[in-house]
Amino acid sequence: MTIPQTFKQAVFRSAGTSLVIEEVPLTPPGPNEILVKVEACGVCFSDVYAQNNVMGGGFPIVPGHEIIGHVAAVGDNVSGWTVGDRIGGGWHGGHDGACKACRKGWYQMCSSQVVNGVTKNGGYAEYCLLNPEAAVRVPSHVPAAKYAPILCAGVSVFNSIRHMNVPVGETVAIQGLGGLGHLAIQYANRMGYRVVAISRDATKEKFVRELGAHEFIDSSKEEDIGVALQEKLGGASLVVSTAPTAEVISPLLKGLGILGKLLILSVPGELPIDTVTMLKYGLSVQVWPSGHATDSEDAIAFTELHEINCMVEEFPLEKANEAFEAMLKGSVRFRAVITME
């Protein structure tokens, strides 16, 4: 593979600013680094963390943690990867292998965690560097643009639902029908659950049923969505919240059945919770931090096997700001993806 002397990238230069497209020199990978020629990179709400230096990565920073490409070169001490291999990089960008989380196999929870596109440069670029311990093996035949979001949005939904240990056949409700929600409906259906879609838009009922929802609740017509879940469907064993607003999440607790779980996959900030209801019925509120490389490989395999349709809109690198703004406004259906020539 021929490696150019320069490449283009989209970069945040300071907090709260727009992306700048620039051409910079391309340097070979150092020890324990893999140089990747990027095919596609998804645009995720968590890229706002890079824009605002939430995790202290500093500036300049190239965002992007839903990366698929090919290995262009490998640095010293890298084994198992060769030039031309299909490779991916997700939220989990590296770990120390020595902390308590790593010793338990929870690499994405490492106390020294590295995050692609947040604490190190990511995939809004023609080339990027990945750490081998966090690199994801991606089948050569899957389309990059449709599978790039699986490395964060997909694995976050897939991995969290499977770790909730809800028995097959139980009722799982999905609140929010955006980038995460449209995947959650499909994953929950293929995992064998009775799926309930919750949305304020009645026009989406036909669409969500085509995705795999068995039931639909128009929350705009319900005074209390939790009560509606109980009265209409007898409560849910699991409610998956993908909407990032706290005021629509708290009422969902009332919609849980005995020992039910409220799984929050969005970032609502402070959240008021009725602990009396939790105590009476043994309820729990949980979150799940994406996944490590093997989790992403599992998510990709499940997505392909069960023909999960990740719906994307593609943008060239030169229109990275348009992709980012579309993500922020929620106008994209359903994931924005930056693709390289």
- pLDDT category at 245 given cuts 50, 70, 90 is confident
pLDDT of 72 > 90? The answer is: yes
pTM of the full structure: 0.96
**pLDDT over 90 for what percent of the chain?**
94
Quickly state the pLDDT bin for 292 (edges 50, 70, 90): very high
Q: Which helix (H) or strand (E) holds 295?
A: helix 293-305
- Per-domain boundaries in the chain: 6-152+290-339, 155-287
> Which whole-number Å values give the CA distances from 313 to 102, 145, 176, 179, 266, in the listed order?
36, 9, 19, 11, 21
| pLDDT at position 268 over 80 | no
Centre a 10 Å sphere on the Cβ of residue 213 and count the other Cβ atoms it contains.
25
pLDDT at position 114:
97
Over its C-alpha atoms, the chain yields an Rg (Å, rounded) of 20
Confidence of residue 291 (pLDDT cuts 50, 70, 90): very high
Q: For residue 269, what are the contacts with CB-CB under 8 A and spacing of at least 6? A: 246
The yes-or-no verdict on residue 127 having pLDDT over 80 is yes
pLDDT bracket for residue 88 (50, 70, 90): very high
Average pLDDT over residues 263-279: 90
- What is the rounded average pLDDT for all residues in the chain? 97
Place 246 in a pLDDT band, splitting at 50, 70 and 90.
Answer: confident
264 and 293 Cβ atoms separated by less than 8 Å:
no
Residue 266 has pLDDT above 90, yes or no: no
Architecture of domain 155-287: 3-Layer(aba) Sandwich (3.40)
Mean pLDDT for the stretch of residues 261-272? 89
Residue 28 and residue 35 in contact, taking contact as beta carbons nearer than 8 Å: yes
270 pLDDT band (50/70/90 cuts)? Answer: confident
**pLDDT tier, 327 (very low <50, low <70, confident <90, very high otherwise):** very high
Tell me if 219 sits within 8 A of 208, measured CB to CB.
Answer: no
pLDDT (0 to 100) of residue 247: 86
Are the C-beta atoms of residues 173 and 239 closer than 8 Å to each other?
A: yes
**Nearest-angstrom CA–CA distance, 216 and 199:** 8
From the list 169, 237, 184, the residue with the least C-alpha distance to 197 is 184
Contact 188, 173 (CB under 8 A): no
Where does 6-152+290-339 sit in CATH, by number?
3.90.180.10
Residue 90 clears pLDDT 90, i.e. is over it: yes
